[in-house]
Amino acid sequence: MLHKNRLYTPGPTQLLPSAQFAMAAATMHHRTADFRDLYVRTLADLKSFIGTQNDVILMACSGSGAMEASVSNLTSPGDKVLVLTAGKFGERWSSLAKAYGVKTEVVSAPYGETWTLDAVKEKLDGVSVVYMQGTETSTGVRHDVEGVAKLLKGTDTLLVVDAITGLGTTHFDVDGWGVDVIIGGSQKAVMIPPGLAFLSVSERAWKKMDATKNPRFYFDLRKERKSAAKGESAYTPATSLIAGLGAALDFIRGMGNGNLSDGRHALVENAETAAAMTRAAAEALGLTMFAKHSPAAAVSAINAPAGVDSGAIVKGFRNQFGAVVANGQGDEMKGKIFRVAHLGYYDYLDTIAIVGALEHVLASISKPAHVEFGPGLRAAQFVYAQRATFAAATV
């Protein structure tokens, strides 16, 4: 049969067609009135997408660049920071902090788990910044951003959240909770290619930058803020990607019947439904989830069956159906889990397709054992029916 390539990975994700058209047509120069109009509009829309009144900065880099900027701009050598980690991207915070000569305290949890708020509270003394993930993409775990924010209320400690896969898949109250910096990336829920990072920055974080001493040049957020006030970027922007981002935000606005905040809510609920369908399907097929207690909506991490290398499952999806799912990340998880993402331009039929494909892949690697077709699809359908009925009843 025909193999139609489909991305089920947690980034890059499937591209939005209208964003592709916008990128293909974007021939404007970045120091013109036309681009300034697009840039100002996109920055304003990003505020609504994130759900904040804080200034938003847009940068031509991956999300890791914005992570680095949140370390270089908010710390000085010798400062004490706290990193909350339970996976590969939490560990990235530790590496970044150490690269800038920052004293790094760590609260960690085993892969597939999350840490306790009591453990965080014990480590807060003398900490200037807490760095954490909203969603740990390597393990499929969702962390308690609101709980950490409550611990920091009334203190001078800043909270920085990597929500690169969290934005558009998780409900955040950025200003209400007091999140000082929250980071997103273009190749996730906003459905365009890699190459853009965006972050909202609170007023007290801006004030902190005036006193910090770590070096910064391209990643100087103050330069970007000053330029953004004039409708420009400090350096050459990724013009085509910004055009695509503008189109993607328009699409999300359409999901909310013209209201971008409502569209963001609908996008998150879409991810939550697809994730719940996938978890139910996996369990109906006798599989177990890697993140048992705090699963994310961005990505489902599923344990491979006993005696099976998850690489064989990843290969089966690609060879049989042209579908790309992710293996486990790093030596600790590669070969043990596979990850199916539910980000962005991903709907009910995509979920049904990946569940149906999973049943066939399991059958092909389980021979000569018999695998019954249908239990995963039935479980996914039941979850969808429940959630659709509830949503209709609350409208």
Annotated binding-site positions: 339
In 3-state terms, what secondary structure has residue 17?
helix
In 3-state terms, what secondary structure has residue 341?
strand
Q: Are 250 and 151 in contact (CB under 8 A)?
A: no
As a whole number of angstroms, the distance between CA 297 and CA 287 comes to 18
H-assigned helices in the chain: 17-25, 33-50, 63-72, 88-99, 117-122, 145-152, 174-177, 203-209, 221-228, 239-255, 260-284, 310-321, 348-366, 375-394
Q: Give binding residues for substrate as ranges.
A: 339
Nearest C-alpha neighbor of 135 from the set 343, 369, 381 = 343
Which amino acid does the sequence have at 343? L
As a whole number of angstroms, the distance between CA 357 and CA 380 comes to 13
Sign of CA dihedral 112, 117, 122, 124: positive
What are the contacts of 143-148 at 24+ separation with CB within 8 A?
143/84, 143/86, 143/114, 143/115, 143/294, 144/114, 144/117, 144/294, 145/172, 145/177, 145/179, 146/173, 146/177, 147/117, 148/84, 148/117, 148/120
As a whole number of angstroms, the distance between CA 290 and CA 302 comes to 5
As a whole number of angstroms, the distance between CA 13 and CA 32 comes to 31
What tokens were used for 13? Answer: 């994700």
- How many other C-beta atoms can be found within 10 angstroms of the C-beta atom of residue 26? 18
In 3-state terms, what secondary structure has residue 270?
helix
